[in-house]
Structure 1
Amino acid sequence: MVTERDYLPAMGQHALLFLYDPCTRLAGVGRLHDELLDQADVRPGHRVLEIGCGTGNVVLRLARRTPGADVLGTDPDPRALRRGHRKAVRRGLPVRFERAFADELPVPDASVDRVLSSYMLHHLDDADKPRVMAEVHRVLRPGGELHLIDAAGGHAHPRLAGNTPDRVVALIRDAGLDATESGRGHRRGPVGHYVLYRAVRRP
């Protein structure tokens, strides 16, 4: 059972969810998803979990690119998950979707090879971020990796102001993961400056 609590939906309002896929497609966000997946280097047989998967664009892209990967998308928004599931069925892709908050993931300890996160971190309140990273550490196998892409921070918007690379790296490291910027980050993308991060759970 998922405990009911507030969350920020993909478009900021539930009523605007129908615009999410067209807007991200027109903005060219798929290119950023490809960068994230290139960095993650998922192989057949890997178990992969995305936190905050929304309507499933990243996990569906991954399943198409890497047949044989075990792919699960999680999100607190049941409407977004239903859209993701319908897209997976239409495309014949074996992606599973499950409702969950990012600090209560529905998988056992040390069971995941890759955790993915795409433009989700800035949706969280600062108080929630350490719990989410602790949960990522819990579910990753030793040697497993977190791959995260998000806005570069430093913006006037309160949810983005503190999302600077040094703070994000510190947050990930405080959870016990070895974290770096990828070197391909802090670039200008279709939705503003962004950073790619990579973190590894120590063996």
Structure 2
Amino acid sequence: MSTTVQILDHRTLEEREREFLPGMGKPWLLPFYDLFSRRVGARALHERAAALADIAPGQSVLDVGCGTANLALTVLRAQPAARVTGLDPDAGALRVAARKATRRRVPITLVQGFADRLPNGDGSLDHIVSALALHHVPEEGRVLFAREALRVLRPGGKVTIVDFGGADSASGSDDSDHSGHGHGGHDRRGHGRRGEHGRPRGHGPADLVRLLADAGFAGAREVERMEHRFGPITFVQASRP
């Protein structure tokens, strides 16, 4: 098996000027990202997401908002014969991801780009996965992401999203303060969506289910829920008809 690791740039000239908020909030905090991820127990979420995705040998996978590729590398541990691509606007995070993949001698393609314009052809993917990224993306960006996900998945292809499962919008969540960050990949207009004590506030499982259903996905549903130190975590899945 080839262990090629490459970083590609999918950004348009206009997107090269597009700002984003890095995963740790400040670029200089990037070296601490993986340490923080381990301390808050994110690995268990990545492992569960990979198990729920149930990826088969040879299938193609896109990790949207991959950051330093923790979920993407977990997918490859679970299924070494998968063809995995990670997408993120943060060049620094992608360089860290490339070094990690090279040390592990696993093949991966890393793409610098944004969640609302995916770097894949129509019907070319078997799976899309995303972990703890979409809660930072504004409503308009999430809608575009869902449409793009439907476009690039083949019929029967599946999307698996892991995110903070806060109160649904019908129960009082507020979508007015959304902003981008390094993993979701949207414009920077603040410091991300935060709840009490500065913890990330999810958009709620029903919001994600509606997002995917409105884009045209079939069987959109919350498949699992998990308690986390930052609050409830939701696992949502859907498939392209």
Which TM-score applies when normalising by structure 1? 0.93
Worse overlay, 155-164 or 141-150: 155-164
**What is residue 95 of structure 2 aligned with on the other side?**
82
Whether the aligned pair in 1 keeps the contact of 2:67 and 2:97 (CA below 8 Å) is yes
Q: Residue 31 of structure 2 aligns with which residue?
A: 18
- Judge conservation of contact 1:165–1:181 (CA < 8 Å) in 2: yes
2: distance between equivalents of 1:139 and 1:191?
32
Which residue number corresponds to residue 217 of structure 2?
A: 177
Tell me the equivalent position of 2:233: 194
Equivalent-residue separation in structure 2 for 1:162 and 1:7 (angstroms): 19
User: Which piece of structure 1 moves more, 105-114 or 11-20?
Assistant: 11-20
Residue-pair matches, total: 200
Give the structure, 1 or 2, with the largest relative contact order (CA under 8 Å, sep 6 or more): 2
| Equivalent position to 1:123, from 117, 136, 151 | 136
Counterpart of 2:205 in structure 1 is 165
Stretches of structure 1 that go unaligned for 5 or more consecutive residues are none
Residue pairs, 1:1-203, within 5 angstroms: 1-2=10-11, 3-4=15-16, 5-154=18-167, 158=177, 159=193, 163-178=203-218, 179-182=220-223, 184-185=224-225, 187-202=226-241
Q: Normalising by structure 2, report the TM-score.
A: 0.79
Equivalent position amino acid for 2:23 in 1: A
The SS at the match of 1:89 is helix
Q: How far apart, CA to CA, are the structure 2 residues paired with 1:14 and 1:195? A: 28
Is the partner of 2:86 in helix, strand or coil?
Answer: strand
Secondary structure of 2:36's partner? Answer: helix
Cα distance, 1:153 vs structure 2: 1.9
Deviations 1:54-86 (A, max 9, x none): 000111111122111101001011100000001
CA deviations on 1:119-150 (whole Å, 9 max, x unpaired) are 11111011211001101111100000000000
Percentage of identical aligned residues: 38
Q: Displacement, 1:190?
A: 3.9
For the 8 Å contact 1:46–1:69, the answer to whether it is kept is yes
Q: Alpha-carbon deviation of 1:165?
A: 1.5
Q: Which moved more, 1:149-158 or 1:90-99?
A: 149-158
